Amino acid sequence: MTVPLTLLGLLARGQPTHGYDLKRDYDSHFANGKPLPYGQVYSTLGRLARDGKVVGGEAEPGDGPDRKRYAITDLGRSEVMGWLSQTVEPEPHLQTVLFSKVVLALMLGEDAAGYLDAQRAAHLRRMRELTEIKRTGQTVDALLADYGLFHLEADLRWIELTSARLTALAQVVSDDQKQLGERQ
């Protein structure tokens, strides 16, 4: 998720808003257990102001340090509306970390099957966590948990398929290594 565009989207609701309130709204709707640091909120707002996408009002006295209300500009609104109208690029993940680790394990003579087993166990643990969130969470949490579960299920199918084809993959990797050695 892109923090600047999300903050612009929160500001596009219409009312000038304090950075503290933007952080609270971001954390409430988008953080999913990873709150946005205050420093990131204010540095992002500073860059958005520099780029003409938000304007900061005068500092207001209050409890603690002076606070500013930030408002979205026409340029900022145009950017966030353009972003919202764009589809997310489907990512076929033709080169993933999982695949790279399996191939490297084979190249190095390490236990690729053991790695796949450990990864399967890690995925299943995470799926249990997400299932609990889905069972006990609010609608937003449940939808995010479903999204994660679907991706983990696809990874698990790939892990199973790769485990079944590991001998064939090991042969391809071995043949490639031999050819590379012959060229050198």
Residues 102, 171, single domain; the answer is yes
Distance CA 60, CA 180 (A): 67
Residues 171-183: tens digit of each pLDDT: 988 887 777 667 6
* Residues in contact with 148: Cβ distance below 8 Å, sequence separation at least 6, in sequence order: 126, 130
The residue ranges of DSSP E strands in the chain, in sequence order, are: 17-18, 54-56, 69-72
Burial of 18 (0-12, 13-18, 19+ CB in 10 A): middle
Quick one: what percent of the chain has pLDDT higher than 70? Answer: 90
Residues 122, 53, single domain; the answer is no
Residues 13, 59, single domain; the answer is yes
Distance CA 163, CA 112 (A): 9
Q: Among residues 34, 172, 38, which one has the least CA distance to residue 99?
A: 172
Residues 98, 177, single domain; the answer is yes
Residues 126-139: tens digit of each pLDDT: 999 999 999 998 99
Q: Among residues 167, 25, 11, which one has the least CA distance to residue 77?
A: 11
**Mean pLDDT of all residues belonging to the chain:** 87
Residues 98, 54, single domain; the answer is no
Residues 61, 109, single domain; the answer is no
Residues 73, 143, single domain; the answer is no
Lowest mean pLDDT among 51-55, 56-60, 72-76, 133-137: 56-60
Domain harbouring 14, CATH code: 1.10.10.10
